[in-house]
Structure formats: structure tokens, C-alpha cells
Structure 1
């Protein structure tokens, strides 16, 4: 009889002990981290899939464009003497060995006017922004200076001079390219550079009247090219001017140089931007002897952004999943402790799983609508589900309303934090401080002495 009473009292203690309930709630929170981690992996998997589809679209349409040129290329001879032993004369003879090197001269002025027509291409539920750029390129070459390298005039191979234009995306070119230099026109032919793995367009040998031997000479080039995401330029001109006009309303200006803030315009119908870069602003010279350097780090331009990245916002939302579960369980724990209502661990588990379902709903719905609509639908669905379930286990409309209000405030608070960038930490800290203060006030009503 006494043993039965001991068993009964022990079982009653397990049901009523606040310490046991706290341990149980803590263990359930840890268990629910498992499905949350799977949801995070699901978001990353969907994001990677989006990137793969976007890359496939871009490869077929045309990848990002980086334009580098035009550049005047002039070969020259380098002499070196080699001593050769002659067995017949028993003496050394000297032989003149000639090596061909190349000098590269950047334009004196470079003016690029670009009109960018952008659009979105989709496959299934994924989208990528692509564009067609119509460029008008003009400028001038000044007289090449070989004196600094102590190269004799007779060693300069003027008759084998050419002009180069480098681009990362030859596949996207949609017009026949003819470079006009002075009064002559030259077709640009593609050539792959093995050492640098860059795509190069080069003219045939320039005629005498196209080479700036005595006076500077003007050039012009019209280029229509398909690209995606980014359009960038390298300021090879001693004075480089670039103007871009586009119908895309969400540009991100990147690279080493930003556009002139006085002339930059961004509206819902597109943007306009202008750059002016001088040689003194750059980290490289106007001419190079031997080979071209790697100067891609000096590129500048614009990136056309898809306005909303649903997966990024969904991933940020899941980072607060632990907080949502912990605070919701804490609310039920406080209600249980104050009202002496028994809540079974299975019921806590059902509530936790309902909270994790919010994120799967958010991901799946946001793939077919906006993030705001998905967040509202998923939030309302979960709040209603848990509120109705809480009415069944708490037997009170008052507690049901309190649960619904608490979840609504919590989800609204998290949505605000997700939208903020600069003030996310500040707002989050203030919100958590207020939540902690509220819990501290409510927990005063709990009789901790009866544990």
C-alpha cells in the first residue's frame, strides 16, 4: 500500500514539477533543431538549383561582358649577340639573334556610349536578367613612344601593327565588327590567347595611313552584344568616358569606380549613369612592352539585379526558427505553470512541428509569388492551426487569443527584422529586451516553491 502511494506521489510529482517540465521543454526544443536543419538544407538546395538554372540560361544567351580595348599592338625587334666557336678558324664569331616582341599602346581618348535593353528569361520557376547592349565606341590613338625602351626606329615593324579588343563574351556578339581607323575599315577576327585564356578580337595588319606615326588618329567601333547580369569596362583610355542608359530599374554600380552622382538617375523606368576616369586615377600605364598585364581588377560597370531574392530571405527567416520555437514553448510553459493545466509532451511536439511547417510553406509559396504574400499566407495558416489546437488543450478562449496574439506579434517582429539591413541588430536587440522584460513580469506569478 505504501509502495503504491510512493508510486502515485512520484507520478504526480513528474506531472506537476516545474523543473521536470522545464527539462522536458528544453529537450523538445533540441529535438526540433533536427527538422529545422533539414529545412535549412532544403533552402540551400533550392538556391543552388536556381543558380544552376540561371547559369544555363546565361550561357545560352551570353555571359557577363567585360570589355577591354581597343589596344594598338606593334611588334618590334630585340637584338642579342651570340658567340659561336668556329673550328676552322679556331675563333669565336658573333651572330645577331633577333627576337620579336610586342608593344601595346592604350588609346589617348576613349568614349563609350551604351544603350542596354534588359529583360528577364525564365525556366520553370526561376528567372535570370539578360540584356542586349548597343555600344558606340570612339576615341583616338596618339603617336607611340618607343624612346623610353631605347628601341631604334629601324627595329619597329610598323607594317605588322594591329589593333586588339578583348572581351569575356565573344559568343554574345550579334553584329559584324568593323573597326574604323582613320579612313580605313578593318574586320575584327577572334583569336584565343593560350597564356591568358582571354578572348581577343584582332584586325589584320594596318595600312600605312592607319598608323599614328606622325599624328594621332581616330577610331570608331559599333558593337551589339548579348550579356547577362553584369556589364563592365576597363578604363584603358588616358581619358575614359562611359555612358550607360538602360530600362532596368534595379542597378548595382560596382567595380573600382562609381558613376558621377550629379548625372546619375535611377527611376522605375530605368537608369542613366556616366563615368569619367583619367590616367591619374588608374594603377597602370598607357603602354606596355612584352605582354599585356592583368588589369581586370580596375574594371567598373553595372550589375543588373533581380529585385528580390526569395531564398535569401527564407534562409534569414529560418535563422530565427529557434527563437520562434523557444518563445512559443515558453508561452505555453508559462500558461501551464500559472493555470495548472497539464500539457503532454506529445502536444508540445505537435506545436513544434506546426512551427517548423511555417518555413516549408514559406519556401514553397514564395517560389510562385512574392515573399510578402508567402510570409502572410504561411504565418496566418500556422497561427490559426496552433490557436485552434491550443483551444483544445487549454480549454479557454482567453488563452487561445493570447497564443494567437503572441504568435502574430512574434512573426511580425521577425518579418520587420528580415526587411531591415542597417538597423536589424538594433531593432532585434530592443525587441528581445522587451520580450525578456514581459516574460520576467509574467513569471512572477509562478509559485516556484511547490516544485
Structure 2
């Protein structure tokens, strides 16, 4: 081959490498806008409410036990008995826990960025089997129950700012109001309802199942988590949001998703989760040195937990270790992830267009200047920046259509003069329409992106081979 032809190939390759710089800058801009969107979501969570996690309800029985320890005396002292008092929590889980809920969604804005928030109306119901006070767990054979505190129903909630009304629990037909603080050891944020002092008074009647129910109006942002604490848990949710994302350790047993919304039902037995085992251990650890419920010290602890929860905006300490399930109310198209994926095809766009130019030069013997190559490449790169900017204000499909139409129109007009024939420019524009259409297919069909991309590359290679099948490259070099 002549040096001139090799030099032209080298210049085209160098231009492609140089065009990687604006493409990388565009990708950095996409990531920067994604960070701005995340900052907007955090700002909304700090000002209103974040993701929600609900644990419970759990019946908590605080009590203390006395443990006698034999202590040997000195040389002139006889052995004596030392009595230690240990504070403990006994957790009673629901035999049956049913949660029914309807969740509505709306959008909140920070500038041009939007975040999806929800408001859930939940109905909790079920039964507890109460243990007699005399049968509370003991540390050993020489331990005895010293005192039993006032039992209460604990309901830890990640962000109590989402509670829209103070709920009242129906406990065997008696209405009791929830107060501040979950008072469940490590989990302080939430609510608790004090039960009558004689709730665990011994006798056969105390072992009978007790029915409970309450309504909870809880708002949150983007995702709702539930921790199944009961022996048998049934959670049924409905919503007007048509694009749910189910996650966590358990997927719904039944679900229906349509344009009108979704409905989903989870059935989780205690045998399938680690909740009861871990919750009891972590609650006991967090209870050491705690304050008895109903006292001023307990009120202070609950208030401090509320302040911490308001400052953090989300999360229950240790809840991530507990088995849970969730539903996320997410947008079907994340414009930033789509724009980021599109920009990764930028170099492929440039390479295919430059290859078409080079083949056209060879077949038509019409020289195209490297500056013209560079201008076309910059126009192709600018498409991705236009796509990002437009998609922040209009629907992604309309943004894609507008950005591609602008770039294709500009290139068709320009190439009509570069190639010295208006119809040639329109022909290249038609090819770009097919190329942009193929890219859109890759973006909206993420699961099939690999096979579609492979077919696209095969089709392009086949077209190049067919177009140059009669070219004598040795003769061309001479």
C-alpha cells in the first residue's frame, strides 16, 4: 500500500482517539448530574422523610431477676451469698400477623430533579399468646424473678417523621394510644403502647390468645421495608404505582402488575427467617442499662431517639441484619443510567461513521478532509450531551427523538456539501436514522442488549464486506 493511504488510516484512527476526550467528558457530566440527583433525594429525605422500615409489632416484657452466687470468704470469714440483680427483656412475637395496605404515590421536586414519595395506609392485626409472669425465662436454677415491669407493644419505625397520625391499638377490645420511642433495646426510634400492669397476671386465662389491631398512616420515600416478626406473617399491599420493584429476602407469593397499579401478597413463616432469633439477642444487648418504660428516663431516651432519627432521615440500627422484604416505587426509566449507557456507545457511533466515510472515499474516489471527519465526529458526540440535557426536562423518548433529529438533520445538511451531492447526504442521514434507531432499541431492551448489539455489529461488518467485495486493495495502493 502507498504511504498516503496508510497515513490517512492513521489520521482517522488518531481522530477517533481524540474524540474519546469529549465522549469521556460527557460521561463525567452524566455522573455529575446523577450525583446532583442523589443530593436532591438526600435533601428531600432530610427535610421530610426517607425510606421506611417497620419491625413488629412485638410484645416486650421488662423484668429483673436475682441471682445468688456463693462467695468464699477470707481466712477468718465464712462463705457468704452475693445477690446480683440482672435486668432482662422478654420478647413475645405474634402468633398471626396480618398487614393489609394501600399505598399512594406522588412526586417531590428539588429544582429540576424529582423523587418519588409514597403514603401508606396500613391495617395491622393478629394475636399474641401471653406467658404467665411466673414462667418468664431465668438464667439458671438459682435465679428468681424479682420484679416484672409494665409490658408494652413495641413498633420500631425507621423514620418516625413519616407517621401522619397517632395510632391507637385495640388490645382485646381496649383502645391504647401509642407513645414516642420503640424502647426495644437497640431499636429506639418508633412507638410503643403501654399495656395494663396486670397483663401477665398468672392463671390459665393469661395464656389465652389476645387479639390486637391498629391502623398506621406512614409516609416514606422510594422504598418500604417490612420485617416479618410473627410466627405466620401475611402482608398484602395494593398501590396505584404501575412500576414496583420487589426486593429483600422474600419475593411476593402472588403479584399482579398492570398500568393501573399492582397488588402483591407475601406469606412468610418464622421458620424461613432469622428475625426472632436475632431480634431477641440484639434487643437484650441494647437493653442493658436502659430505662424502664413509663418513667421520665424512658421518655428522655425516646426523645433522643427521635432527634437522632430526624437527623439521619432513615434507617433502624441493625435492621439490615434482619431478614426483610421490600417494595420500591421507582421510575421505569432512569434518565441518567440510560444516558450513561447511551454515551458508552459513542465511540462505536464514531467508528462506524468514519468507516462509512472511508469506504465512500475508496469507492467514489472522493477525498474527505480530516477536519471534516473531526466535525462529523464532534456532531455525533454532541448528540449524547443534547440527550442528557433534554431528558431532564421532557420524557426520555421525546428527548432521544429531539436530540437524534437535530444531529441527523445537521449531518445530512453538512454531508450534502462534503460529499458534493445532496442525495448522498440524505443517504448518509438515512443510515444514521437506522443507527440511532438501533441504539434506542439497545437502551430500552436492556435484557437483550448483548444479542442486539452483536447482530448490529454483524450487519455492519457484512455491509462493509459486501460494499468492498470488488475492491482491489493492491491496485488501490498503487
Of 175-184 and 342-351, the range deviating more from structure 2:
175-184
The answer (yes or no) to whether the contact 2:66–2:144 under 8 Å persists in 1 is: no
The answer (yes or no) to whether the contact 1:182–1:210 under 8 Å persists in 2 is: no
Partner residue, 2:101? 114
- The alpha carbon displacement at 1:269 in A equals 2.2
CA distance in 1: counterparts of 2:73 and 2:423, whole angstroms = 109
* Residue 61 in structure 1 maps to residue 48 in structure 2: yes
CA distance in 2: counterparts of 1:148 and 1:285, whole angstroms = 18
* Cα distance change on mapping 1:132 and 1:85 into 2, 3 Å: same
Partner residue, 2:259? 268
* Cα distance change on mapping 1:260 and 1:148 into 2, 3 Å: farther
- The alpha carbon displacement at 1:50 in A equals 1.0
* Residue 250 in structure 1 maps to residue 243 in structure 2: yes
The answer (yes or no) to whether the contact 2:159–2:190 under 8 Å persists in 1 is: no
- The alpha carbon displacement at 1:422 in A equals 2.2
The answer (yes or no) to whether the contact 1:311–1:363 under 8 Å persists in 2 is: yes
- The alpha carbon displacement at 1:207 in A equals 2.2
* Cα distance change on mapping 1:319 and 1:80 into 2, 3 Å: farther
Equivalent residues in 2 for 1:115-194, closer than 5 Å: 115-144=102-131, 146=136, 155=145, 157-191=147-181
- The alpha carbon displacement at 1:210 in A equals 6.6
* Cα distance change on mapping 1:202 and 1:49 into 2, 3 Å: same
CA distance in 2: counterparts of 1:84 and 1:229, whole angstroms = 62
Of 322-331 and 433-442, the range deviating more from structure 2:
433-442
Of 134-143 and 178-187, the range deviating more from structure 2:
178-187
CA distance in 2: counterparts of 1:49 and 1:207, whole angstroms = 53
SS at match of 2:215: strand
CA distance in 2: counterparts of 1:146 and 1:364, whole angstroms = 64
RMSD: 2.6
Q: 1:442 aligns with which of 463, 467, 472?
A: 467
Equivalent residues in 2 for 1:42-441, closer than 5 Å: 42-74=29-61, 75-81=63-69, 83=71, 85=73, 89-144=76-131, 146=136, 155=145, 157-191=147-181, 196=186, 199-204=189-194, 206-209=196-199, 213-261=206-254, 264-285=255-276, 291-292=282-283, 294=318, 296=320, 297-441=322-466
Structure 2 residue ranges without an equivalent (≥5): 285-317
Q: Report the TM-score when normalising by structure 1.
A: 0.88
Structure 1 residue ranges without an equivalent (≥5): 1-12
Partner residue, 1:6? none
The answer (yes or no) to whether the contact 2:182–2:192 under 8 Å persists in 1 is: no
CA distance in 2: counterparts of 1:287 and 1:392, whole angstroms = 73
CA distance in 2: counterparts of 1:289 and 1:427, whole angstroms = 52
* Cα distance change on mapping 1:341 and 1:286 into 2, 3 Å: closer
Partner residue, 1:36? 23
Q: Report the TM-score when normalising by structure 2.
A: 0.84
* Cα distance change on mapping 1:330 and 1:287 into 2, 3 Å: closer
